[in-house]
Amino acid sequence: MARNRYDMDEVLEEKFDINQVKRLAKYVAPHKTKMLLALFLMLSSAFLSTFLPKFLQLEMDVYIPDKNITGIVGIVLLTAVICIYLVVCIRLKITLTMHVGQDVIHQLREDIFEKLQELPFSYYDERPHGKIQVRVVNYVNNLSDILSNGILQTITDLFNLLFIIGFMFYMNVRLTLICLCGLPFLFLFIVLIKRGQRRAWQIQSNKQSNLNAYISESINGIRVTQAFVREDKNTEIFNDLSQNYRDSWMHASYYGFAMGPMVDLISTITTAFVYVLGVHYIIDGNVSGVSIGVLIAFTAYISRFWAPINTIASFYNSVVTAVSYLERIFETIDEPVEVKDAKDAIEMPAIQGKLEFEHVTFSYEKGVEILKDVNFSVEPGKTIAFVGPTGAGKSTIVNLISRFYNVDSGRILIDGVDISKVTLRSLRKQMGVMMQDSFIFGGTIMDNIRYGNKTATDEEVIRAAKTVCAHDFIMQMEDGYQTQVNERGSRLSVGQRQLISFARALLADPAILILDEATSSIDTETEIVLQEGLNHLLKGRTSFIIAHRLSTIQNADCIMYISDGGIAEAGTHEELLQKHGKYYELYEAQYKSV
């Protein structure tokens, strides 16, 4: 899936691949016992049900003319027993297949969600989140029917079809051949519409994905929308996307709905021929072995003959539709994980805090280098601050330290260990990261702070909150630390969200602490108090701070000015001011405006 927007269709031009269905079958394989039991129930019921028209023929041609009441009652009782068995089988089949279908859906959704947890930031940078969400929810849900009922029903109908054809040939070969002559026309019709049908459902899934992406974007940006009075324009865009989805669904549905009428047309024509020929045989004196009872029973078999064909045709439609969804689902599951553990990765030893960049070059897009041959070394326990213009690469550096991205060339060493050679989990567990976007999860404030350290006690959570000056405002809320906050922390101010995120990072007790614009939304009075807590907390840790507000980094052991893909200047606050370079210009510009 290449870089994409809500108004761009995703490209997937591979040919129809039956291996997608085979791959789906692997998800069903662990449930084969239940599936085989359900299949046995369905096949046995299908086999027994094929006797019912034959019982009708016996009554019409034998028992009724002979006034054999015992035979009639016996046939009725046997029919009743078979019908009861059919009802029981259907009930058990529904229970078994529904459990299997939903278990497979659950496993598919789990696999795709697990992959989403592994994929690097670059995957999410390149596509609308709504298009990712639609795969986990809508596309997987659309497979429910084919998994819960379609596969077994189709297998049963295939066997049922064989049973029926066998009984029909047994009763009358000529009438059976007339009935079968319509099948080649049906197969030709399926071949003719197959390619257009698959393409139509691919387009429909694209339009559904686009619509979902725009809905997600609109919800996340609703404050900006209302602030700039964009409601009418956004509604117009939404209506266009919704209309495109409607049109694509209608077009795709034409193919699906065309199958049923075609089956009905062919079955009606062949049934008419059977009636005409059967009546002709009866009038001619039963010379071909066709009696009234045989004709009635045979026409009953004809309706049963076309019913499974109709079901199989519908299943084919479902498969074509499902494959268009499976392609998207498996495309996500197969998405290469660029940032992952090496095959021989080792556990990161306990971090002491020395960090080195050796000739590091990095680019988000090929050919557009953000960092160029960057070299620097940081001793354990030191605090390093990064400053510089927007887009210079400050956040990129700290993201590379946490190995959210892989470097293009060069090495990053922590305590002399190349971080590309250690497991991601063992590396990141020893780091505390507070990013510029202070994300708050739905739940309590206590849970949000404890997010980075699940074993932390309530007392430790409160201590971390006090350190970053979050305790007072938390206690002023209706339920204190047990106050429920909404997704993205909509009940909290931007500054409050940052303080909670700060406490979350600190609670992890990391060996390396990364603060990306940690105090950008905190008022000056709070910042002064917070700075005292930070000075105490940063002691003994290797820390990296990104800040546009220079007052928060003046005490850093080293300040690096990032510009033009590298480190333009480095030194303490006083040393950089004496150089009268880029940092001095930034400092003067900021404090002249105060």
What pLDDT is stored for residue 1 in this prediction?
A: 42
Decide: helix, strand or coil at residue 359.
strand
Burial class from Cβ neighbours inside 10 Å (0-12, 13-18, 19+) for residue 148 reads: buried
Question: Could you tell me if 591 and 585 are in contact, meaning their C-beta atoms sit under 8 angstroms apart?
Answer: no
Q: Which amino acid is present at 463?
A: R
- Alpha-carbon distance of 518 to 337, in angstroms, equals 29
DSSP state of 540: T
Structure-block tokens of residue 131: 């298009």
Question: Could you tell me if 497 and 438 are in contact, meaning their C-beta atoms sit under 8 angstroms apart?
Answer: yes
Q: Return the ∠ at Cα 329 (arms to 363 and 155), rounded to 5°.
A: 160
* Residues 6+ positions from 228 with CB-CB distance below 8 Å: none
Closest to 428 in 3D by CA, of 531, 341, 302, 536: 341
Tokens 């006797």 locate to: 51
Cα 467 to Cα 225, 265, 294, 471: the distances in Å are: 36, 78, 91, 8
- Alpha-carbon distance of 297 to 60, in angstroms, equals 9
Question: Could you tell me if 163 and 120 are in contact, meaning their C-beta atoms sit under 8 angstroms apart?
Answer: no
Tokens 């690097």 locate to: 120
Q: What is the pLDDT of residues 109-125, one digit of tens each?
A: 888 888 888 887 777 77
Question: Could you tell me if 559 and 572 are in contact, meaning their C-beta atoms sit under 8 angstroms apart?
Answer: yes
- Alpha-carbon distance of 114 to 428, in angstroms, equals 18
Buried b (16+ CB within 10 A) or exposed e, 251-278: ebeebbeebeebbeebbeebbeebeebb
Q: Return the ∠ at Cα 218 (arms to 217 and 222), rounded to 5°.
A: 125
Structure-block tokens of residue 470: 């979050």
Pairing of strands 512-516, 431-434: parallel
DSSP state of 414: E
Tokens 């960049």 locate to: 357
Q: Which amino acid is present at 173?
A: V
**What's phi and psi for 45, nearest 5 deg?**
-70, -35
Burial class from Cβ neighbours inside 10 Å (0-12, 13-18, 19+) for residue 324 reads: buried
**What are the structural domains of the chain?**
19-333 (1.20.1560.10), 353-430+510-594 (3.40.50.300), 439-509 (3.40.50.300)
Question: Could you tell me if 290 and 247 are in contact, meaning their C-beta atoms sit under 8 angstroms apart?
Answer: no
- Alpha-carbon distance of 39 to 214, in angstroms, equals 43
What pLDDT is stored for residue 380 in this prediction?
A: 92
Cα 329 to Cα 4, 290, 336, 348, 521: the distances in Å are: 17, 54, 14, 34, 40
The residues with which 412 forms a beta bridge, in sequence order, are 357
What pLDDT is stored for residue 427 in this prediction?
A: 92
Structure-block tokens of residue 255: 């193919």
Over the chain (594 residues), what is each successive 10-residue block's mean pLDDT?
Answer: 58 60 81 84 81 78 82 88 89 83 86 86 76 79 68 71 79 78 78 74 80 81 77 88 89 75 79 77 65 74 74 69 76 84 90 94 87 93 90 89 91 94 91 75 87 86 86 89 77 78 82 78 63 67 85 86 91 92 87 58
Q: Which long-range contacts (CB under 8 A, 24 or more apart) does 118-123 make?
A: 118/337, 118/340, 119/335, 119/337, 120/337, 120/338, 120/339, 120/404, 120/405, 120/406, 121/399, 121/404, 121/405, 122/338, 122/364, 122/405, 123/335
| Number of CB atoms found within 10 A of residue 480's CB | 14
